[in-house]
Structure 1
Amino acid sequence: MIAITAKGVQVFLILALTAFTVSTIVLAVQKSNLKSDLDAAQKLLDEFEEAVKQTTVTSTTTTATVPQTSVSTTTTTEKIPETIDYRLPKTVAPELYDLYLHPNLETGEFEGQLVITIKVLENTDKIILHSANLDIAYVYFTNGLTVKSFSFDLDRDFLIVESTDELKAGSTVRMGINFRGHEMHTKIVGLYTSAYKKADDSYKRIFTSKFQPTYARQAFPCFDEPGFKAKYLVSLVHPKDGNYHALSNMDEDTNDLVGEFRQVTFKQSVPMSSYLACFLISDFVAESKTVETNGIGEAFQVSVYATPEQKEKVIFALNTAKAVTEYYIKYFQVEYPLPKLDMAAIPDFVSGAMEHWGLITYRETALLYDKDYSSTVNKQRVAQVVAHEIAHMWFGNLVTLKWWDDLWLNEGFARFIEYKGQHYVYPDWNMPEQFLVNAIQPVMKFDSTLASHPIVQSVNSPAEITELFDTISYEKGASVIRMLENFIGEDKFETAVTNYLENYKFDNTVTDDFLSEIEKLDLNINVKDILRTWTEQRGFPMVNVKQTSPTTYVLTQKVFLANKDDHALINEDDTAFKYRWSIPITYYVDGVEQELKWFYYDQEELTIEVPSTAEWVKINNKQIGYYRVNYDKEMWDKFASFLNKDIKVMSTSDRAHILNDVFSLADADEVNYDIAFDMMSYLGKETEYVPWKVAATKLSALKRTLMFTEDFKAFKTFAKNVVEVIYKSVGWTVNDEEVLKNRLRMTVLSLACSLGIEDCINEAKTKFATFLEKGEKPHPDLREVVYYYGMASSGSEEVWEKMWDIFTEEQDANEKAKLMDGLSAIQVPWILKRFINLAWNPENVREQDYFTCIQGIAANPVGEPIVWEYVRENWEEMVRRFGIGNRYLGRMIPAIVGNFDSETKLGEVVAFFEKYPIAGAGAASREQALANIKVNIQWLKSNLNDIHNWLEDNSIY
């Protein structure tokens, strides 16, 4: 029997057609290596073909032709040489995917039918596309051609379809594929199911997708590379009962009842890359608003979907989405080309969110906000992610990278633009200042190690591609774009962005295309040559400033490295620019901004002239430039002195920059640590969040580093003295309207409790006891501190069990994350070991949260050795569950071993990597882990004695 869909143009072979199943045939074909197996597979196919001949297969537009053979010796599981080319040939390109999907929410299997309209670019007799973990039942052409064979290259996820006739360049063919997929219940990429708890304690299962970067091939055969854009015509089948409905990139066209199911067909999409397709079948409900476009395109609806029980939590995201979308349309001067924009909160989601065009999907913590559960951090997180993903509707979706080498064109731009969007909608949050502590300073820490890589980096395999989604592509990319905007000017930058989007819309680009748009403007600099020094080299420069006369400062540059021993390992010939950069030098003279000067990569030095009356010069205004600045001791002392007299002598951003630079330089042994400690003397007058975030981050790191040294007690005394004034100032009373004050409070309370300030610990213990005994939860902004330090200071087995029960019953994702973090603070080793074992069960800890949980336990000094032993003992099982291509698995290692600081521990990590040499998507993370440990070892050698002397000289002992 042949089943015809409601569209009447595709055919699907029902598995009951013969006594054997299609999956049996496909598995026999895919896994056969020996001749006997091939013969057996061929026999099955011959029987299959004979059975089909007994049935007339027709539709209104096609005659299905069964392939003569489906076996090829290219199907192999042998190790592929490292030089293998994973790229698809460019002989053909898709124009339209006509796709039908019928998922079974109960069994976790799905059936699919696909007809691809393909443009032939070169004469060929083969069509090669991607397919992974799919049972291919049937491949055929619809326009008189015949399939000679189809085969699989399992290592490259290739489906190779051979035609009996040569396909001529310039012609168009239509190829049909019937297929089946499995195991949607056990993964959270490709097509998968997710489930959530209803009010009556039953579980509701939904169906969705996540394809970026290379998982669309697990959902349907496709040309799964960003350069192959095509239109989509999608049909989804879902149960007619259970309040289910379907969403996809486009709006609904038809909705037909077919027996016990509904088949929803969506309007044809605009051209887009395979990773942007999205499907959702759920019972979610939505709130909607109209986006006004002021004549730049038509007005359209933005809707935010969530489980019915959480409908009220979508309002903040909805308001943010409307406002930020209207801002982007005005900023880009380019219309949003789709008829609607949906956003949905998915209970299980591997990333923070994904920018599927017209249907953005999120983790619940990244989209839902409830003032009774969500902290100020949670609120800002929602706004950040919403602004980021909507920015992708233009940067990434409308204009897409040609290949993943240029990922920063997607992610760096979206990260940069998200700050503009947030600042426009919520100006009191002062996002330009927060950029320092959220983006540029964290990425500079990583980028100062040899484990870093250039912004534009060649990638080939799926593992290499997924690994590239890191802080370099996002934060460094955004930082370089921020610097670029500053030195060419905001107006010209906006013009270049608009021209870029207009000239390349629905197309694919490389970095040079964007820079070409900038160079068309009236500029007196070579932007391409300047940007190459930043995109083609890993790392960044340190600018040394030396005063040579009362009116003259001489600037030199060298690469900045966190580990001074690494300078000997740098080969200048590795790059065309010999690890030198073209640096835009911005600077103040006595607080007055001066005209920008260029320090080009081929210059030995740069001289700056100042008036004879000038008292001080500060380089790199507001840390706009992606570089560090070092001065002689006299100038550092002047900064400390001026800030102690009048904190407003520098802006908030400049104060944060000075603190970040001086401690980073001290860590790298470029300045003595007493200079950095002296700079902290002004903090008694500091009242702003961003500088305190810098100070708190450094003090927390020093506390952890010095924990097992003789200087730990003295350091804690010093740190408490630094924090005491601001701790008393911020207090424990929260005002929901004071966002930056709340961020400051959360930062200071966490630092004060971690340092053991008695009043802070007692307050946390009291509020924690009230929560457990009476169920009275503290304000959401206080919960992380209360849960963590309440558990750390008063936790017992009984207390932990009670909190565990609360955690397992909690349904709000933000609250659940806070409780999970609190559970990791227990100081009892065997309970932490039990927590690790419990977390393995996805019924206890969702798979999306597993690595966060394990890393949280490892952040507890008691838990660190327990987690390290557990991971080494269970690595093979982890790889089986998550796959070696999972970048989050790879990134778990540097998070766990990040505080190791001895040769012994370094040896343990090296031995672990040697035992399990296949790194997959964790190759760069392994380099990072080793680099961090070496930095820690060197740090103790270089700085411990200086810190001891400073503490002693300042009577801290």
Structure 2
Amino acid sequence: MSKQVRQDKRQVLPTNVRPTHYILTFTPDMVNFTFIGSEIVNININENTKSITLHVNEIEIKSAKLINLDLKTSQSFEATNIDYDTQKETATLTFPQEFSSGTTASLHIEYTGILNDKMVGFYRSSYEDKSGNTKYMVTTQFAATDARRAFPSWDEPAIKATFDITLIVPSDMTTLSNMNVVSETQLGDGKKEVKFNRTPLMSTYLVAFIVGDLGYIQAYTPGGRDDGEPISIRVYAPKGNEQYGEFALGVATQVLEYFIEVFGIPYPLPKCDMVAIPDFGFGAMENWGLITYRTAKILFDPKNSNITIKKIIAYTVSHELAHQWFGNLVTMEWWDHLWLNEGFATWVGNFAVDKFFPDWDIWSQFVTEEFQSALRLDSLSSSHPIEVPVNDSSEISQVFDDISYSKGASVIRMLSSFLGEKVFLSGVRRYLKIHAFGNASTDDLWQALATESGNDVAQFMTGWTRMVGYPVLTVKESTPETLVIRQCRFLSSGVINPDEDTTIWWVPLGVDLGPDTQCDIKSTVLTQKEITLKLPPRKSDFYQLNARETGVFRVNYTPERLYKLGQAVRLGLLDVNDRIGAIADAGALGTSGYGKTSDLLSFIKEFEEEDKYVVWREIASRLGNVLDVWFEQPTPIYQGLLAFNRGLTSRLVPKLGWEYSESDDYLTTSLRTLIINIAGRANDPDTVKEAYHRFNLFTKQNDESALHPNIRAVVFKIVLSHGGGDEEFEAILKVYRESKTADQKLDALYGLGFAQRDDLIHRALQFAISDEVKNQDMIHAFASLQSNPKSRRLLWNFVKDNWDLIHERYINFLSLFGNIIKQCINKFSSEDDIVDIEKFFSNRDCKGIERSLQQSVEKIRVNAVWLKRDSKDVEDWLKSNGFLQ
């Protein structure tokens, strides 16, 4: 589909006028949760017109007038009609006189709005202070299309303008916006007027302002601005919690300075504020100069936080700082190109974390997390291209997913590996400099990279961004030295219709023949449906494709070759990333029918001596997937799978122990937690006994040392999964209520979902939708209730019974709503479940979550077919390997 055709279908504003500058004044009422707004917008008249259409949502315009700025004497014209279109979220202002093309005017609007509790637009967020009192702050979330809830605007990313922002607020409140404060005037009656400096040219979705009782900590970069001045970096939080921002502040100071060097462009603002928001739908939002975060993504308590929070914070801060250039300085021209923002920020966020935390092995974690998440979603027929046509605002939320973020980042990683990191970053710098303060498309990035590399990047990358899916390479050995490699689209269903298999991808094969063989085929690229590849002479018959897992594809080896790769694992011939990739491919191929589930189980048996956290993450993921799909199979079968899991971890639990030391590195700490979690799920008696012992010391004797923060969530899960009753449930609930930071609360909330008694499951369900649980956190409660086989069906029935409440709560935050739906249903494995789900949604409003529903139903269908096909295969394997009597 051509670019022009896509634009013709977009629901965009008329081009008769365009804004150049906004002067905005807001007066929030933090008692009645309303606000008064006043704006003056300087506009260019591009066509003779009597009307102006702009975006408005849940705003009531009180008056509007237009002043012709080209006349010597000011003459204003009041709007004679204001026509709202709630479906398109617009208001059309009609004036008594036509304004001529080529002139300029100022549009003056007075209006009112609401400070909603939906986490969108200009909204309120509540929290408890140190004394237990409920307090409120007001904040903004405008991406993707919610600036229109705060001020009438041209709310499209390509319609950039500058902004002067003023807030009239209580005198004792901290007031923040994108730019620094230029004046603060006391008005009397406990109010003050705060004016901010003019912003650079920017999109409406990046405008931000916050009012609250906030404290902060501060640091400076040595330089980094055009004028050589240092950049102020602050972390804000509700007063009393700001000290937990120390880790994030340290990361931000280093990363901001590093990105100035990497991108070759000074940071264009005088400051960068980062704010912890108690109620926040996304993980974070890259508002220019005023980045907002969920509290769990920025605040770290050294005494009580899990070490994984450090990685989450370091990555999230790096991701959002990358956006200050890639997204804010240069913005996608339309939401079709969202991946330019999110895919690149995901890649470069990991790039920065690897720079400053090399011992975390971040790229291996990327392979088992981001990369595999992308391939799982993109193996569905209901997936979408990286560049996906977006026409209506309701469609935008559905592309904030693993395709735009994780597949986008994986494609960039593949391209960077092929071109070389130095050349790739040179192309990025060229792209940013050419399009600074403007908008760009994917083609613009390819052009910049082509200029720097000398390669026709668009020719071989367009298929990756504009076509859905990715290939599986089937490898046949016609002779020991001759490989026949054929590509076709990989679908987890294993069923490919001819019209779904028309793409021929550009695939860098990444052939590895082992450390002792020098060859010239490592850079071989597959550019056709099938090739014959001649291997050079070598000492052994070892080979593998997609070395280090930089290519976005799966490899389907013969069973004999997979067996040999298992032997290579034992001999230490496979790199960490290669081991992750081999396990992941075996799992995906078993699901789809290219291979068998028994092949996966046999292959994993070869990892009995494995001691790397990142490899165990993939093992846990694949075995967990089997357990989830087999959860309603006969008890002996399910118990046999648990026995296999126990056998794998029996050596490691006693070796790693339960004690955490200050000297433990990140990966050792993470491995210990993961292995105990696997062993606990597998009903390992010693693990369950130790978990109970430590839980009782922690809850009954207040011995905090008995349950290190790294293991608390796992122990809560084990205890409730293995006989925990009212006493244990109440103890975990008490931890939730008394925890001071968001990540500690989430650990307890997650644990509550593993209750086994129906009455306790219902308590956990009711608690999940209670006022005690933040709206953005309900998904965490539902995630554990779905992971718990005992509560999986009760959760879905609960959602059906409470649909109206859930729909009302999340209909304004569609990306979160869609993820909640997925969490509730996509682990089922029966055609009966599909019938039930489709019947339930047949007469309900599904606008904005259609793709999530399609993907969930397809996933269930894949599970059902997989289970039917391989249930006997798994039973036979368990018998032959001694796990089933």
What interval of TM-score do these two structures reach, taking the shorter chain for normalisation? over 0.9
In structure 2, the partner of 1:824 is 753
Distance 1:139 1:504 in 2: 35
Q: Which of 874, 879, 887 is residue 807 of structure 2 equivalent to?
A: 879
In structure 2, the partner of 1:244 is 173
Distance 2:267 2:225 in 1: 11
In structure 2, the partner of 1:754 is 681
Query: Is 2:665 the counterpart of 1:738?
Result: yes
In structure 1, the partner of 2:275 is 344
Mark the CA change 1:593 to 1:867 in structure 2 (over 3 Å): closer, same or farther: farther
SS of match in other structure, 1:617: coil
In structure 1, the partner of 2:643 is 717
Check the 8 A contact 1:563/1:935 in 2, yes or no. Answer: yes
SS of match in other structure, 1:101: strand
1:454 counterpart letter in structure 2? P
Distance 1:691 1:851 in 2: 27
Q: Which moved more, 1:602-611 or 1:112-121?
A: 602-611
Q: Which has the larger radius of gyration?
A: 1
Distance 2:629 2:93 in 1: 58
SS of match in other structure, 1:142: strand
Check the 8 A contact 2:786/2:827 in 1, yes or no. Answer: no
2:81 counterpart letter in structure 1? S
In structure 2, the partner of 1:280 is 210
Mark the CA change 1:546 to 1:97 in structure 2 (over 3 Å): closer, same or farther: same
SS of match in other structure, 2:452: coil
CA distances 1:688-723 after superposition (whole Å, capped 9, x unpaired): 111111001111222222233232222222221112
1:606 Cα deviation after fit: 4.3
Q: 1:402-421, aligned counterparts within 5 Å?
A: 402-421=333-352
1:395 Cα deviation after fit: 0.6
Mark the CA change 1:496 to 1:297 in structure 2 (over 3 Å): closer, same or farther: farther
1:294 Cα deviation after fit: 6.1
Q: Which of 293, 311, 316 is residue 242 of structure 2 equivalent to?
A: 311
Check the 8 A contact 2:610/2:616 in 1, yes or no. Answer: yes
1:272 Cα deviation after fit: 0.7
1:604 Cα deviation after fit: 3.1
CA distances 1:841-861 after superposition (whole Å, capped 9, x unpaired): 32x111121222233223222
CA distances 1:759-794 after superposition (whole Å, capped 9, x unpaired): 111111111111221222311111111111122224
Mark the CA change 1:509 to 1:164 in structure 2 (over 3 Å): closer, same or farther: same
Mark the CA change 1:177 to 1:294 in structure 2 (over 3 Å): closer, same or farther: closer
CA distances 1:482-533 after superposition (whole Å, capped 9, x unpaired): 001111111110110000000001001111010011111242x421121111
In structure 2, the partner of 1:358 is 289
1:232 Cα deviation after fit: 0.5
In structure 2, the partner of 1:797 is 726
Mark the CA change 1:797 to 1:294 in structure 2 (over 3 Å): closer, same or farther: closer
Q: Which of 867, 876, 879 is residue 949 of structure 1 equivalent to?
A: 876
Mark the CA change 1:713 to 1:858 in structure 2 (over 3 Å): closer, same or farther: closer
Q: 1:287-686, aligned counterparts within 5 Å?
A: 287-293=217-223, 298=228, 299-523=230-454, 525-565=455-495, 567-568=496-497, 571-572=499-500, 578-591=502-515, 594=519, 595-611=521-537, 613-644=539-570, 646-647=571-572, 649-686=573-610
Check the 8 A contact 1:463/1:885 in 2, yes or no. Answer: no
Check the 8 A contact 1:885/1:920 in 2, yes or no. Answer: no
Distance 1:87 1:262 in 2: 38
1:293 Cα deviation after fit: 3.8
Distance 1:84 1:613 in 2: 59
Check the 8 A contact 1:884/1:921 in 2, yes or no. Answer: no
Distance 1:799 1:692 in 2: 29
2:248 counterpart letter in structure 1? A
In structure 2, the partner of 1:32 is none
Mark the CA change 1:459 to 1:371 in structure 2 (over 3 Å): closer, same or farther: same
Mark the CA change 1:297 to 1:520 in structure 2 (over 3 Å): closer, same or farther: farther
Query: Is 2:73 the counterpart of 1:149?
Result: no
Distance 2:657 2:154 in 1: 57
In structure 2, the partner of 1:784 is 713
Q: 1:96-115, aligned counterparts within 5 Å?
A: 96-115=21-40
Check the 8 A contact 1:589/1:610 in 2, yes or no. Answer: no
1:726 Cα deviation after fit: 2.1
Mark the CA change 1:495 to 1:652 in structure 2 (over 3 Å): closer, same or farther: same
Distance 1:521 1:318 in 2: 35
Distance 2:181 2:197 in 1: 6
1:453 Cα deviation after fit: 0.6
RMSD: 1.8
Distance 1:137 1:296 in 2: 43
Check the 8 A contact 2:207/2:287 in 1, yes or no. Answer: yes
Check the 8 A contact 2:512/2:543 in 1, yes or no. Answer: yes
2:872 counterpart letter in structure 1? N
CA distances 1:609-650 after superposition (whole Å, capped 9, x unpaired): 321544111100111000001112222111111222x22x12
Query: Is 2:868 the counterpart of 1:937?
Result: no
Check the 8 A contact 2:746/2:780 in 1, yes or no. Answer: no
Q: Which of 100, 107, 119 is residue 168 of structure 1 equivalent to?
A: 100
1:396 Cα deviation after fit: 0.5
Distance 2:85 2:871 in 1: 56
In structure 1, the partner of 2:197 is 267
Check the 8 A contact 2:118/2:813 in 1, yes or no. Answer: no
CA distances 1:457-499 after superposition (whole Å, capped 9, x unpaired): 1112222011111110000000000001111111110110000
Distance 2:742 2:806 in 1: 24
Mark the CA change 1:615 to 1:85 in structure 2 (over 3 Å): closer, same or farther: closer
CA distances 1:787-834 after superposition (whole Å, capped 9, x unpaired): 111222242223323432332233311110011111111111122212
In structure 1, the partner of 2:3 is none
Check the 8 A contact 1:130/1:221 in 2, yes or no. Answer: yes
Higher relative contact order (CA 8 A, sep 6+): 2
SS of match in other structure, 1:521: helix
Distance 1:189 1:739 in 2: 36
Distance 1:528 1:84 in 2: 24
CA distances 1:396-429 after superposition (whole Å, capped 9, x unpaired): 0000001101000000000000001101111111
Check the 8 A contact 1:353/1:366 in 2, yes or no. Answer: yes
Q: Which moved more, 1:607-616 or 1:471-480?
A: 607-616
Give the percent of matched residue pairs that are identical in Structure 1 and Structure 2. 30
Distance 2:217 2:748 in 1: 29
Distance 2:816 2:91 in 1: 28
Mark the CA change 1:522 to 1:767 in structure 2 (over 3 Å): closer, same or farther: closer
Q: 1:903-914, aligned counterparts within 5 Å?
A: 903-914=831-842
In structure 2, the partner of 1:80 is none
Check the 8 A contact 2:640/2:878 in 1, yes or no. Answer: yes
In structure 1, the partner of 2:4 is none
Distance 1:363 1:456 in 2: 28
CA distances 1:20-45 after superposition (whole Å, capped 9, x unpaired): xxxxxxxxxxxxxxxxxxxxxxxxxx
CA distances 1:261-293 after superposition (whole Å, capped 9, x unpaired): 000000000011111011111121111111134
In structure 2, the partner of 1:894 is 822
1:166 Cα deviation after fit: 2.6
Which runs of 5 or more structure 1 residues have no equivalent in the other structure?
1-82
SS of match in other structure, 2:711: helix
Check the 8 A contact 1:764/1:789 in 2, yes or no. Answer: yes
Check the 8 A contact 2:487/2:529 in 1, yes or no. Answer: no
Distance 1:294 1:875 in 2: 51
Query: Is 2:761 the counterpart of 1:861?
Result: no
1:735 counterpart letter in structure 2? S
1:889 Cα deviation after fit: 1.8
Q: Which moved more, 1:473-482 or 1:853-862?
A: 853-862
Distance 1:668 1:749 in 2: 30
SS of match in other structure, 2:648: helix
